[in-house]
Amino acid sequence: MADAKFARCHAVTAKWEGGWSNHAADPGGKTMYGITEAVYHQWLRKKGQGAKHVRNITRVEAEQIYFDQYWKPAGGPTLAVGVDLATYDAAVNSGVSRGRKWLMAGLDPKDDHVHTVKNICRQRLGFVQSLNTWKVFGRGWGNRIADIQAKGVAWALAAANDPHVVKQQLEDEADKSKATAGQQTGAAGAAGAGGAGAVGVDQVDTTLFANGWVVVGLVIVAVAVVFVLASRAKVNSQQAEAYRREAAAL
């Protein structure tokens, strides 16, 4: 399992997977180093060994499972630097089939690996935001995907550019994400003010809307818009911070 590409990518993913977990909202149940008990038991059976509590899994065993069941099936060994990280981490977090699907759909037609990394992370973020568990794990997932995107972009840039150029481009990405977050925050505030104004009785023709349902509908729409914009602003703020960290590390 002496694979430098795997070791580099897994070091990042392992940080996010952490150690022991048994969160009630996590459908994976008991996990250690990100490996669920079900996956561990299946792996042990294939090796002719009896079941053991996943908390007893060793790091070596966990890394072997990641290498055999996630890294290789996701195509890690053949992928460009940066794209390998984005695809592998997505496969670990959301399944190999999704990781591969997002890779194939996200491939840049001009073979620009930076764009491919961004495309993979954008699809991945959209997926996790659609899950019911986003309200529980959303902040962590958002930070994780922001980190993976920033690192993937940094690695892809570093493969073809001078460190000074990479640093400047990462800082530019941070500035763009921060500016976008600011615009979204401002738009959310404006939408919230508009929604609040919609409930004013003097602004509604009560002879046409006596039951008040149109007003209620306007408020609901305004609240939804504010929520979406605020969520997007948070994501872009996380992305700005991640790019800034990568730039500072150079």
Instruction: Give the pLDDT confidence of 1-42 residue by residue, as tens digits.
Output: 559 999 999 999 999 999 999 999 999 999 999 999 999 999
Q: What is the pLDDT of residue 205?
A: 58
Domain boundaries, the chain: 179-250
Summarize pLDDT for 133-151 with one digit per residue, the tens. 999 999 999 999 999 999 9
Q: Is the pLDDT reported for residue 210 higher than 70?
A: no
* Residue 214: band (very low, low, confident or very high) from pLDDT cuts 50, 70, 90: low
Secondary structure string (H, E, C) spanning 121-170: HHHHHHHHHCCCCHHHHHHHHHHHHHHHHHHHHHHHHHCCCCHHHHHHHH
pLDDT, averaged across the chain: 90
Contacts of 143 (CB under 8 A, 6+ apart): 238, 242
In this prediction, residue 201 has a pLDDT band, given cuts at 50, 70 and 90, of very low
Cα Rg of the chain, angstroms: 22
Tell me which residue of 56, 54, 59, 51 sits closest to 30, measured CA to CA: 54
**pLDDT value of residue 234:** 92
**What is the distance, to the nearest Å, from the Cα of residue 14 to the centroid of all Cα atoms in its chain?**
15
Pairing of strands 35-36, 20-21: unpaired
Give the span between the Cα atoms of 85 and 89, in whole angstroms. Answer: 6
Q: What is the pTM of this model?
A: 0.87
Candidates 194, 192, 189; CA nearest to 233 is 189
